[in-house]
């Protein structure tokens, strides 16, 4: 039996006090953490871990961006919607939309590349192992 392929995941969470600045607004860096939290939840839903202790490969980030549309505040209940927007032999690009009360608060993306550590300690891009690649697919375009 073939395992399901994942293309999207929505994480629901509440903004914590330590995530806000002195003005009570979420610090911009936390949006990247929310995206990664959703990414790790997506991988767990697919039956995987992005960083198992015995991993032969890792997934460094090679590009990341966010646009901020409205502030998030302490105790806001947010949804972090993550989509696989593109996949190549060696990379995955996610798109992310963060909403509060159904209103868009931020949109962003991150690209990860499969990398293998070389004997000299450097990282070199590598093909995503089939056991991982087979668990994900590009999300269908919304109509």
Compute the distance between CA of residue 12 and CA of residue 4 in angstroms, rounded to an integer: 22
101 as an active site residue: the answer is no
Catalytic residue among 21, 76, 101, 120: 21
Cβ-contact 9, 45 below 8 angstroms: yes
Residues 6+ apart with CB under 8 A from 89: 127, 128
Q: Which residues are known to be catalytic?
A: 21
């Amino acid at each position: 039996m073939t395992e399901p392929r994942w293309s999207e995941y929505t994480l629901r969470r509440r903004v914590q006090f330590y995530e806000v600045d002195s003005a009570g607004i979420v610090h911009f860096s936390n949006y990247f953490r929310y995206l990664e939290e959703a990414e790790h939840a997506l991988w767990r839903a697919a039956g995987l871990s992005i960083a198992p202790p015995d991993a032969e490969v890792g997934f460094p980030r090679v590009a990341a961006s966010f646009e901020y549309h409205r502030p998030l505040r302490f105790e806001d209940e947010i949804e972090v919607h993550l989509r696989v927007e593109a996949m190549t032999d060696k990379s995955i690009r996610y798109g992310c939309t963060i909403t509060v009360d159904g209103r868009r608060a931020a949109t962003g993306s991150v690209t990860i590349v499969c990398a293998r550590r070389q004997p000299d300690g450097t990282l070199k891009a590598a093909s995503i192992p089939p056991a991982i690649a087979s668990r994900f697919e590009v999300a269908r375009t919304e109509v």
